[in-house]
Amino acid sequence: MTTVSPTEPPSLALSRLPAARRALVEALAAEIRTHYARGRRIVALDAAEPRADLDAFAADLGLALQAAGDSVFQAEAADFRDDEQLVRALLDPFRLGGSTGFVLAAWDAGRDADRIQEWTTGPADAVLLLAGSRLQRPSVRGRWSYTIWVDLAGEAGAAASIADDYRDAVRPREAATAVVDLRIPDEPRRLYLDYCAL
């Protein structure tokens, strides 16, 4: 993936979204900007499985962040062979800021080979949106500024589709900063878990 750069101004692109979707991505963007106002921020959008709905939601969140004044980059975890490549090519260089280059896609799963790496840079206050599955695993968990668990299948479907070891060890819904129900893409809603019952 590349820099989120719509062909029209972000505010105009946002105005074309369904009202509920727009309201949710704007609220999440405001929350991210409130809690992490300066410096490079990395937002993980985690789901039971990577799907086009997840990438589209990440792009819409990117529009809301851009409309608020942020420079946004979007990447997919599937575009990295393993955690080592993800950390070495994207996460560590992105966090360094300045003129340090980072790679938004280093692995081509279809060819089962590394891609020719295209290095890019961004401003000191840029935001990286990383979409994928199992992004709260222990090997990378502490690297995110903000984590959104995106429920694509509903609670029962998500529980069935998450590998038991990941669900039991990580509890991704409970560990996320925010939980979004995206079963109806035009009418997503934020879920507020009852942490007293956990």
Tens digits of residue pLDDT in 8-28: 899 999 999 999 999 999 999
pTM to 2 decimal places: 0.90
H helix runs in 68-133, sequence order = 83-86, 92-96
CA dist 159 and 93 (Å) reads 34
3-state helix, strand, coil in the chain (%, to 5): 40, 20, 40
Q: What is the pLDDT of residue 1?
A: 41
Q: What is the pLDDT along the chain (198 residues), one digit of tens a residue?
A: 445 555 789 999 999 999 999 999 999 999 999 999 899 999 999 998 878 899 999 999 999 999 999 999 999 999 999 999 999 999 999 999 877 899 999 999 999 999 998 999 999 999 999 999 999 999 998 999 999 999 887 654 555 556 667 878 888 889 999 999 999 999 999 999 876 655
Which residue's structure tokens are 């060890």?
A: 169
Q: What is the pLDDT of residue 154?
A: 61
CA dist 52 and 150 (Å) reads 12
Q: What is the pLDDT of residue 2?
A: 45
Q: Residue 82 is encoded by which pair of tokens? A: 């393993």
At position 90, the amino acid (one-letter code) is L
Domains located in the chain, CATH noted: 10-191 (3.40.50.300)
Q: Are 49 and 133 in contact (CB under 8 A)?
A: yes
Residue-wise pLDDT for 104-118, tens only, equals: 999 999 999 999 989
Mention every residue, 6+ apart, whose C-beta is less than 8 A from residue 156. none
Q: What is the pLDDT of residue 161?
A: 57
How far apart, in Å, are the Cα atoms of 51 and each of 77, 78, 153, 194?
12, 11, 11, 27
Q: Are 150 and 28 in contact (CB under 8 A)?
A: no
Q: Are 185 and 56 in contact (CB under 8 A)?
A: yes
Strands 127-133 and 41-47: parallel
